[in-house]
Protein backbone atom coordinates (compact mmCIF):
# COMPACT_ATOMS: atom_id res chain seq x y z
CA UNK A 1 0.00 0.00 0.00
CA UNK A 2 2.87 2.36 0.76
CA UNK A 3 3.96 2.31 -2.86
CA UNK A 4 0.67 3.07 -4.61
CA UNK A 5 1.49 6.76 -5.03
CA UNK A 6 4.95 5.87 -6.24
CA UNK A 7 3.53 3.51 -8.83
CA UNK A 8 1.13 6.08 -10.22
CA UNK A 9 3.91 8.66 -10.18
CA UNK A 10 6.19 6.28 -12.04
CA UNK A 11 3.66 5.84 -14.82
CA UNK A 12 3.08 9.55 -15.27
CA UNK A 13 6.55 10.97 -14.72
CA UNK A 14 9.17 8.37 -15.59
CA UNK A 15 10.10 9.55 -19.06
CA UNK A 16 12.35 12.25 -20.41
CA UNK A 17 13.70 13.68 -17.16
CA UNK A 18 16.71 15.96 -17.15
CA UNK A 19 19.33 15.35 -14.46
CA UNK A 20 22.22 17.43 -13.16
CA UNK A 21 24.67 15.18 -11.29
CA UNK A 22 27.86 16.09 -9.46
CA UNK A 23 30.57 13.49 -8.93
CA UNK A 24 29.64 11.52 -12.06
CA UNK A 25 33.04 9.96 -12.65
CA UNK A 26 32.72 7.03 -10.25
CA UNK A 27 30.64 5.43 -7.51
CA UNK A 28 26.93 6.10 -7.28
CA UNK A 29 27.20 9.20 -9.45
CA UNK A 30 28.51 7.13 -12.34
CA UNK A 31 26.04 4.28 -11.80
CA UNK A 32 23.02 6.57 -11.62
CA UNK A 33 24.11 8.77 -14.54
CA UNK A 34 24.47 5.75 -16.82
CA UNK A 35 21.24 4.19 -15.61
CA UNK A 36 19.32 7.42 -16.27
CA UNK A 37 20.81 7.65 -19.76
CA UNK A 38 19.99 4.01 -20.48
CA UNK A 39 16.33 4.60 -19.64
CA UNK A 40 16.22 7.54 -22.05
CA UNK A 41 16.66 10.48 -19.70
CA UNK A 42 19.04 13.36 -20.36
CA UNK A 43 21.95 14.01 -18.02
CA UNK A 44 24.30 16.90 -17.35
CA UNK A 45 27.16 14.86 -15.90
CA UNK A 46 29.87 16.73 -14.02
CA UNK A 47 33.23 15.77 -12.61
CA UNK A 48 36.43 17.48 -11.51
CA UNK A 49 38.27 15.99 -14.51
CA UNK A 50 36.40 16.10 -17.79
CA UNK A 51 38.34 13.17 -19.24
CA UNK A 52 36.94 10.92 -16.50
CA UNK A 53 33.44 11.19 -18.02
CA UNK A 54 34.34 11.67 -21.69
CA UNK A 55 33.22 8.13 -22.54
CA UNK A 56 29.64 9.02 -21.55
CA UNK A 57 29.52 11.43 -24.49
CA UNK A 58 30.79 8.70 -26.82
CA UNK A 59 28.12 6.26 -25.60
CA UNK A 60 25.08 8.52 -25.26
CA UNK A 61 25.62 11.39 -27.68
CA UNK A 62 23.29 14.36 -27.36
CA UNK A 63 21.47 12.92 -24.35
CA UNK A 64 24.46 13.75 -22.16
CA UNK A 65 26.27 17.02 -21.51
CA UNK A 66 29.65 16.50 -19.83
CA UNK A 67 30.95 19.41 -17.79
CA UNK A 68 33.97 20.03 -15.60
CA UNK A 69 33.03 21.01 -12.06
CA UNK A 70 34.89 21.33 -8.80
CA UNK A 71 32.07 21.96 -6.33
CA UNK A 72 34.40 23.96 -4.08
CA UNK A 73 34.63 26.58 -6.85
CA UNK A 74 31.45 28.63 -6.29
CA UNK A 75 31.70 30.62 -9.52
CA UNK A 76 32.23 27.46 -11.56
CA UNK A 77 29.31 25.72 -9.82
CA UNK A 78 26.94 28.58 -10.63
CA UNK A 79 28.10 28.79 -14.24
CA UNK A 80 27.88 25.01 -14.73
CA UNK A 81 24.34 24.74 -13.35
CA UNK A 82 23.23 27.64 -15.56
CA UNK A 83 24.96 26.15 -18.62
CA UNK A 84 23.24 22.80 -18.09
CA UNK A 85 19.84 24.45 -17.65
CA UNK A 86 20.31 26.56 -20.79
CA UNK A 87 21.47 23.53 -22.78
CA UNK A 88 18.53 21.29 -21.96
CA UNK A 89 15.94 24.00 -21.27
CA UNK A 90 15.18 22.69 -17.77
CA UNK A 91 16.54 20.62 -14.89
CA UNK A 92 14.13 18.15 -13.31
CA UNK A 93 16.60 16.58 -10.86
CA UNK A 94 19.61 18.18 -9.21
CA UNK A 95 21.65 15.45 -7.56
CA UNK A 96 24.56 16.38 -5.30
CA UNK A 97 26.74 13.29 -5.15
CA UNK A 98 30.32 14.62 -4.97
CA UNK A 99 32.09 14.02 -1.68
CA UNK A 100 34.86 12.18 0.11
CA UNK A 101 35.76 10.82 3.54
CA UNK A 102 38.46 12.06 5.87
CA UNK A 103 40.25 9.31 7.77
CA UNK A 104 41.39 10.65 11.12
CA UNK A 105 40.61 10.45 14.78
CA UNK A 106 39.27 13.65 16.29
CA UNK A 107 42.71 14.40 17.73
CA UNK A 108 44.62 13.80 14.50
CA UNK A 109 42.79 15.99 11.98
CA UNK A 110 44.13 19.47 11.31
CA UNK A 111 41.84 22.47 10.95
CA UNK A 112 42.79 22.60 7.26
CA UNK A 113 41.80 18.94 6.81
CA UNK A 114 38.41 19.60 8.38
CA UNK A 115 37.79 22.80 6.40
CA UNK A 116 38.61 21.03 3.12
CA UNK A 117 36.19 18.21 3.95
CA UNK A 118 33.38 20.65 4.76
CA UNK A 119 34.10 22.70 1.63
CA UNK A 120 33.42 19.63 -0.52
CA UNK A 121 30.78 17.78 1.49
CA UNK A 122 28.67 20.71 2.74
CA UNK A 123 29.46 24.06 1.16
CA UNK A 124 29.87 22.58 -2.33
CA UNK A 125 26.38 21.04 -2.42
CA UNK A 126 24.88 24.21 -0.92
CA UNK A 127 26.51 26.25 -3.69
CA UNK A 128 24.97 23.98 -6.34
CA UNK A 129 21.56 24.20 -4.64
CA UNK A 130 21.72 27.99 -4.41
CA UNK A 131 22.59 28.18 -8.11
CA UNK A 132 19.74 25.85 -9.07
CA UNK A 133 16.92 27.25 -6.95
CA UNK A 134 16.16 30.40 -9.02
CA UNK A 135 16.03 28.23 -12.14
CA UNK A 136 13.79 25.60 -10.54
CA UNK A 137 11.43 28.26 -9.21
CA UNK A 138 11.17 29.88 -12.63
CA UNK A 139 10.37 26.58 -14.33
CA UNK A 140 7.77 25.75 -11.66
CA UNK A 141 9.35 22.87 -9.79
CA UNK A 142 12.05 20.26 -9.59
CA UNK A 143 13.58 17.69 -7.28
CA UNK A 144 16.77 18.17 -5.28
CA UNK A 145 18.51 14.95 -4.26
CA UNK A 146 21.53 14.69 -1.98
CA UNK A 147 23.68 11.64 -1.37
CA UNK A 148 24.17 11.43 2.37
CA UNK A 149 24.82 8.22 4.32
CA UNK A 150 23.42 6.16 7.14
CA UNK A 151 26.26 7.93 8.96
CA UNK A 152 24.04 10.99 8.83
CA UNK A 153 22.29 9.41 11.85
CA UNK A 154 24.97 7.34 13.54
CA UNK A 155 28.74 7.65 13.76
CA UNK A 156 31.87 5.56 13.64
CA UNK A 157 35.27 6.31 15.12
CA UNK A 158 38.12 7.30 12.77
CA UNK A 159 35.67 8.81 10.26
CA UNK A 160 33.84 11.01 12.75
CA UNK A 161 34.47 14.18 10.75
CA UNK A 162 32.93 12.56 7.67
CA UNK A 163 29.95 11.51 9.78
CA UNK A 164 29.64 15.07 11.09
CA UNK A 165 29.56 16.42 7.54
CA UNK A 166 26.62 14.15 6.79
CA UNK A 167 24.79 15.20 9.97
CA UNK A 168 25.11 18.80 8.77
CA UNK A 169 24.10 17.76 5.24
CA UNK A 170 20.93 16.16 6.63
CA UNK A 171 19.98 19.21 8.73
CA UNK A 172 20.48 21.59 5.82
CA UNK A 173 18.33 19.49 3.49
CA UNK A 174 15.56 19.10 6.08
CA UNK A 175 15.38 22.88 6.50
CA UNK A 176 15.58 23.32 2.73
CA UNK A 177 12.61 20.99 2.18
CA UNK A 178 10.40 23.11 4.45
CA UNK A 179 11.56 26.36 2.85
CA UNK A 180 11.03 25.42 -0.81
CA UNK A 181 7.93 23.23 -0.60
CA UNK A 182 5.91 26.39 -1.36
CA UNK A 183 7.57 26.55 -4.79
CA UNK A 184 6.71 22.97 -5.74
CA UNK A 185 10.32 21.83 -5.34
CA UNK A 186 10.89 18.46 -3.69
CA UNK A 187 13.85 17.33 -1.59
CA UNK A 188 15.09 13.81 -0.90
CA UNK A 189 18.14 12.74 1.10
CA UNK A 190 19.56 9.42 -0.14
CA UNK A 191 21.17 7.51 2.74
CA UNK A 192 23.23 4.53 1.54
CA UNK A 193 24.68 1.88 3.75
CA UNK A 194 27.94 0.11 2.85
CA UNK A 195 28.28 -0.55 -0.90
CA UNK A 196 31.04 -1.92 -3.09
CA UNK A 197 31.75 1.40 -4.81
CA UNK A 198 35.00 3.25 -5.34
CA UNK A 199 34.16 5.36 -2.27
CA UNK A 200 36.76 3.40 -0.34
CA UNK A 201 39.47 4.06 -2.94
CA UNK A 202 42.41 6.40 -2.41
CA UNK A 203 40.68 9.01 -4.61
CA UNK A 204 37.68 9.11 -2.27
CA UNK A 205 39.62 8.99 0.99
CA UNK A 206 41.97 11.53 2.48
CA UNK A 207 44.18 10.70 5.43
CA UNK A 208 45.33 13.07 8.13
CA UNK A 209 48.79 12.67 9.58
CA UNK A 210 48.51 9.86 12.12
CA UNK A 211 49.56 9.60 15.75
CA UNK A 212 51.23 6.36 16.85
CA UNK A 213 48.93 6.03 19.85
CA UNK A 214 45.98 5.34 17.51
CA UNK A 215 47.71 2.92 15.11
CA UNK A 216 46.42 -0.27 16.73
CA UNK A 217 42.93 1.16 17.20
CA UNK A 218 42.73 2.15 13.51
CA UNK A 219 44.04 -1.22 12.35
CA UNK A 220 41.25 -2.94 14.29
CA UNK A 221 38.70 -0.48 12.91
CA UNK A 222 39.73 -1.05 9.29
CA UNK A 223 39.83 -4.79 9.86
CA UNK A 224 36.17 -4.61 10.86
CA UNK A 225 35.33 -2.51 7.79
CA UNK A 226 37.02 -4.96 5.45
CA UNK A 227 34.83 -7.79 6.76
CA UNK A 228 31.63 -5.76 6.39
CA UNK A 229 29.11 -7.04 3.85
CA UNK A 230 28.63 -4.57 1.00
CA UNK A 231 25.70 -4.02 -1.32
CA UNK A 232 25.79 -4.08 -5.11
CA UNK A 233 25.73 -0.54 -6.56
CA UNK A 234 24.16 -1.85 -9.77
CA UNK A 235 21.11 -2.92 -7.75
CA UNK A 236 20.33 0.67 -6.73
CA UNK A 237 19.08 2.56 -9.85
CA UNK A 238 15.53 1.19 -9.75
CA UNK A 239 15.13 2.46 -6.19
CA UNK A 240 16.39 5.89 -7.21
CA UNK A 241 13.99 5.94 -10.17
CA UNK A 242 11.06 5.13 -7.87
CA UNK A 243 12.05 8.10 -5.73
CA UNK A 244 12.37 10.61 -8.59
CA UNK A 245 9.22 9.34 -10.33
CA UNK A 246 7.07 9.45 -7.19
CA UNK A 247 4.46 12.17 -6.87
CA UNK A 248 5.24 12.44 -3.15
CA UNK A 249 8.83 11.28 -2.62
CA UNK A 250 10.17 10.83 0.92
CA UNK A 251 12.43 13.40 2.55
CA UNK A 252 14.74 10.59 3.68
CA UNK A 253 15.36 7.26 1.99
CA UNK A 254 17.62 4.44 3.22
CA UNK A 255 19.45 2.70 0.39
CA UNK A 256 20.07 -0.94 1.25
CA UNK A 257 18.97 -3.30 4.00
CA UNK A 258 21.60 -2.50 6.64
CA UNK A 259 20.59 1.02 7.59
CA UNK A 260 17.22 0.75 9.30
CA UNK A 261 18.19 -1.87 11.94
CA UNK A 262 21.32 0.09 12.90
CA UNK A 263 19.59 3.46 13.09
CA UNK A 264 16.55 2.03 14.87
CA UNK A 265 18.79 0.60 17.61
CA UNK A 266 20.70 3.89 17.89
CA UNK A 267 17.52 5.93 18.34
CA UNK A 268 16.10 3.46 20.84
CA UNK A 269 19.26 3.84 22.91
CA UNK A 270 19.10 7.65 22.68
CA UNK A 271 15.46 7.71 23.71
CA UNK A 272 16.17 5.42 26.64
CA UNK A 273 18.94 7.73 27.85
CA UNK A 274 16.78 10.84 27.52
CA UNK A 275 13.97 9.10 29.40
CA UNK A 276 16.35 7.98 32.13
CA UNK A 277 17.48 11.56 32.70
CA UNK A 278 14.06 13.17 32.11
CA UNK A 279 13.53 14.17 35.74
CA UNK A 280 16.84 16.02 35.82
CA UNK A 281 16.08 17.65 32.46
CA UNK A 282 12.62 18.75 33.55
CA UNK A 283 13.88 20.18 36.83
CA UNK A 284 16.30 22.34 34.86
CA UNK A 285 13.35 24.06 33.17
CA UNK A 286 12.67 26.15 36.25
CA UNK A 287 9.46 28.15 36.70
CA UNK A 288 7.73 29.78 33.73
CA UNK A 289 8.83 33.39 33.20
Overall average pLDDT of the 60-72 stretch: 97
Note whether residue 109 is domain-resident. yes
* Structure confidence at residue 198 as a pLDDT band (50, 70, 90): low
Q: Residue 274: which pLDDT band, with cuts at 50, 70 and 90?
A: very high
Helical segments of the chain, H only: 4-13, 27-38, 54-60, 74-88, 111-118, 124-139, 160-180, 215-226, 237-245, 259-276, 278-283
18 pLDDT more than 50 = yes
The b-or-e profile of 93-110 (16+ CB within 10 A means b, else e) is bbbbbbbbbbbbbeebbe
Distance CA 51, CA 264 (A): 42
Let me know if residue 46 belongs to a domain: yes
Distances (CA, A) of 190 to 90, 145, 202: 23, 7, 23
The answer to whether residue 146 is domain-embedded is yes
* pLDDT score, position 222: 86
277 in a structural domain:
no
Q: Is residue 265 part of a domain?
A: no
> Domain range holding 112?
4-259
pLDDT exceeds cutoff 60 at 201? no
Q: What is the pLDDT of residue 7?
A: 34
Whole-number Å distance between alpha carbons of 271 and 275: 6
Average predicted confidence (pLDDT) for the chain: 92
Residue 206: what pLDDT? 86
Total number of domains in the chain: 1
The verdict on pTM exceeding 0.75 is yes
Q: What is the pLDDT, as a whole number, of residue 79?
A: 98
Q: Which active-site residues does the annotation give?
A: 148, 162, 166
User: What percent of the chain is predicted at pLDDT more than 70?
Assistant: 92
Mean pLDDT of 61-71: 97
Instruction: Look at residue 269 and tell me if it is in a domain.
Output: no
Q: What is the pLDDT of residues 220-264, one digit of tens each?
A: 998 887 777 889 999 999 999 999 999 999 999 999 999 999 999
3-state secondary structure of 2: coil
Residue 274: inside a domain:
no
CATH number of domain containing 188: 3.40.50.720
Query: In the chain, what percentage of residues exceed pLDDT 90?
Result: 84
In a domain, 31, yes or no: yes
Amino acid sequence: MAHQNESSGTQSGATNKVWFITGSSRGFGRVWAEAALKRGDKVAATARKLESIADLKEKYGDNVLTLELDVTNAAQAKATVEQAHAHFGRLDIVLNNAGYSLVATVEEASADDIRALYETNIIGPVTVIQAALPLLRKQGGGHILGTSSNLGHVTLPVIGYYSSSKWAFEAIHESLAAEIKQFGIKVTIIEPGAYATEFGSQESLKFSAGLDIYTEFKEEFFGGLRSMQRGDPEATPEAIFKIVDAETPPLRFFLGSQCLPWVRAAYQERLATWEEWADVSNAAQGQPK
